[in-house]
Amino acid sequence: MSNARNLANLLGTGTTIATAKIADDAITAAKIDDDGAGFTFGDITTTNSITAGTDVVGNSLSRILLNASAASTDVGDEFLLNATDGSASNDGGKILSEDGTDDGSSVVASGRAGQILQVVEISTEANTGNVTALTEAARITITPSSVSSKIFIVAHGAGQVTCGSSGIMSTKILRDALDGYIVGVFYSGLGSATNGHTHYITPHNSGVDKPNTTDPVTYIWAVNKGSGGTTNARVMGGISFPIRMSAMEISG
């Protein structure tokens, strides 16, 4: 058989070349992955460092683990940061392998106390009119996701008192009803005033509650005159003076 035929057979489809016939360093990286699509292989052992042009992906638990076959005590150990320059604060931190994402939940540990779980907000233009007894100005409802959660409530609006011998406004945040649990109280105004004088106040309430339930919870912001010497009080509402309330669930 001619040399040309031998060469054609050697280069034909399905031809196997014995490893011993390949010279050392004869196959370059470009020939191994010439199409750029990548390839899959089993275990790999290196005598020098591995340089990656992109991400190095860890195991199914998103960690890079040691496989020290020569020292069995290290098998499965995690890589830790070593801030040898002494300037880093994360010395000893774990190295994780995780896909990039814009979802913050992937890096937030579930169950950690103090996390904001949800926020509910309302705005109303309601006007209470002049009142002399505790009167609802606004309300908000939130459904906690856990019985251990705390609820942070904020309420504010524009207020007015008509003075007698004094001019004081009182506002409260209450749970479920006007005679319910008091979450927060606000008092402000004039301890001494001219009878009939109108005085403007911007009441602002906040407070933290722990309702111990996963049922809907309603919080009421209510207004009243703050002293016997005050003639009346009101939360004005309206387009220019909207009442706003927020309820924020915080993990306990």
Tell me the per-residue pLDDT of 221-249, one tens digit each, with 9 for 90 and over: 999 999 999 999 999 988 888 999 999 99
| pLDDT at residue 237 in the model | 84
Residue 61 has pLDDT above 60, yes or no: no
Q: What percent of the chain has pLDDT over 70?
A: 62
For residue 166, give the nearest of 188, 190, 187, 186 by alpha carbon.
190
For tokens 């008509």, name the residue.
Answer: 162
| pLDDT at residue 201 in the model | 92
Q: Is 191 left (phi over 0), alpha (psi -120 to 50) or beta?
A: alpha
3-state secondary structure of 227: coil
The more confidently predicted of residues 38 and 145 is 145
Residue 7 has pLDDT above 80, yes or no: no
Tokens found for residue 179: 């005679």
Domains of the chain in start order, with CATH, are 116-250 (2.60.120.1340)
Q: Which long-range contacts (CB under 8 A, 24 or more apart) does 106-111 make?
A: 111/251
Residues in Cβ contact with 187 at an 8 Å cutoff, skipping those fewer than 6 apart:
168, 169, 170, 226
pLDDT interval class at 113 (50, 70, 90): confident
Average pLDDT, the chain: 80
Question: CB of 137 within 8 A of CB of 171?
Answer: yes
Residue 1 has pLDDT above 80, yes or no: no
Residues in Cβ contact with 121 at an 8 Å cutoff, skipping those fewer than 6 apart:
140, 244, 245, 246, 247
| pLDDT at residue 132 in the model | 96
Strand partners, 78: 65
